Amino acid sequence: MSAAGGGSAAPAVRVNGLSYAYGVAGYVLHDVSFSVPAGETVVVTGSSGCGKTTLCHCLTGLAPKALGGAMTGTVSILGDDIEPLAVPAVSKRIGMVFQDPDNQLVMTTVEDELAFGPENLAVEPEEIRRRVDRELGRFGLERFALRSPGELSGGEKRLVALAAVLTLDPPVLILDEPFAHLDERGRDRVRAAVLDLSASGRTLLIVEHDLALVDFAGRYLVLEQGRLVADTATPPALPAYAAPPRLEVPA
């Protein structure tokens, strides 16, 4: 294993021969391999149920460390195989904003939500305060600091979830359908935040169906029934992957 954080030449993410099954229903990822250089923004796309979220959980170690199941192959973040690492050690390297922020927001105030991650990693209180203020400021969330995350709108919740992950300063960040269930205003706010993160050189993996929202990405990975079927620099013709098959009716 390399020194903390891995050598600078190591890719931010390297997945090699990854297969994963939640349980007896069988494998939902099949022999997936790819790597992502540091600083790249990559979109992961494909139809509902093709395994995008599962892949994210394998990258953060939640699968199989917390979710159980059977995994073969390897996942390395910043040069380190995550298999022997505890979940908190992995979360310093890679963070994830869940598809549904309600599954992620657990504290009674926004401020406590942002402090929760670094507190669990025993970061010094002054440093936690600095990071919480930094992220509140980045997303214009200062006025919500003492509000309950549960009272906020969908877009605001998504920003709080993003801010809470960023207080851990993970060099690699996964956003699982960050624009889902948002109105136009919420989408615009989240998109502006994501664009900033992408431009700032953080390694980003964004799970998204609507490729128009992520046209700033340099690369697209397409999953189909748990297999990586395309790895391309140009946006793929998604309807072929995302929409249910259409019946061809002869004229």
Ligand X SMILES: Nc1ncnc2c1ncn2[C@@H]1O[C@H](COP(=O)(O)OP(=O)(O)OP(=O)(O)O)[C@@H](O)[C@H]1O
Collapsing DSSP states into helix, strand and coil, what is residue 45? strand
DSSP for residue 148: -
Interaction between residue 50 and ligand X (CB under 6 A)? yes
Nearest-approach distance from CB 168 to Mg ion, in angstroms: 22
Q: Cβ distance 22 to 67 under 8 Å?
A: yes
- Interface residue with ligand X, options 17, 26, 49, 140 (CB under 6 A): 49
Interaction between residue 140 and ligand X (CB under 6 A)? no
Amino acid at 47: S
Q: Binding partner of residue 49 among Mg ion, ligand X, none, CB under 5 to 8 Å per kind?
A: ligand X
Beta strands 227-232 and 94-97 are unpaired
**Residue corresponding to tokens 């192959």:** 73
Strand order in the sheet with 70-77: 27-36, 13-21, 70-77, 80-81
DSSP for residue 69: -
Q: Binding partner of residue 203 among Mg ion, ligand X, none, CB under 5 to 8 Å per kind?
A: none
The window from 35-43, 48-56, 151-159, 194-202 that contacts ligand X (CB under 6 A) reads 48-56
CB neighbour list of residue 222: distance below 8 Å, 6 or more residues apart = 45, 46, 228, 229, 230, 231, 232, 236, 241
Q: Is 5 exposed, middle or buried (0-12, 13-18, 19+ CB in 10 A)?
A: middle
CA atoms of 34 and 73, how far apart (whole Å) = 12
Nearest-approach distance from CB 49 to ligand X, in angstroms: 4
CA atoms of 177 and 1, how far apart (whole Å) = 32
CB neighbour list of residue 131: distance below 8 Å, 6 or more residues apart = 114, 118, 123, 167, 169
**Closest CB to Mg ion belongs to which residue?**
53
Q: Per the structure block, which two tokens stand in for 133?
A: 């203020």
For ligand X, the closer of residues 52 and 65 by Cβ is 52
Nearest-approach distance from CB 66 to ligand X, in angstroms: 11
Nearest-approach distance from CB 114 to ligand X, in angstroms: 26
For ligand X, the closer of residues 49 and 125 by Cβ is 49
Interaction between residue 54 and ligand X (CB under 6 A)? yes
Interaction between residue 45 and ligand X (CB under 6 A)? no
Q: Binding partner of residue 18 among Mg ion, ligand X, none, CB under 5 to 8 Å per kind?
A: none
Interaction between residue 104 and Mg ion (CB under 5 A)? no
Binders in 35-54 for Mg ion, by CB under 5 A: 52-53
For ligand X, the closer of residues 186 and 226 by Cβ is 226
For ligand X, the closer of residues 153 and 225 by Cβ is 225
From residue 22 to residue 41, what is the string marking binding to ligand X with x (rule CB under 6 A)? x-----x-------------
CA 153 to chain centre: 21
CA atoms of 90 and 17, how far apart (whole Å) = 20
Residues that bind ligand X (CB under 6 A): 22, 28, 48-54, 99
Residues that bind Mg ion (CB under 5 A): 52-53, 99
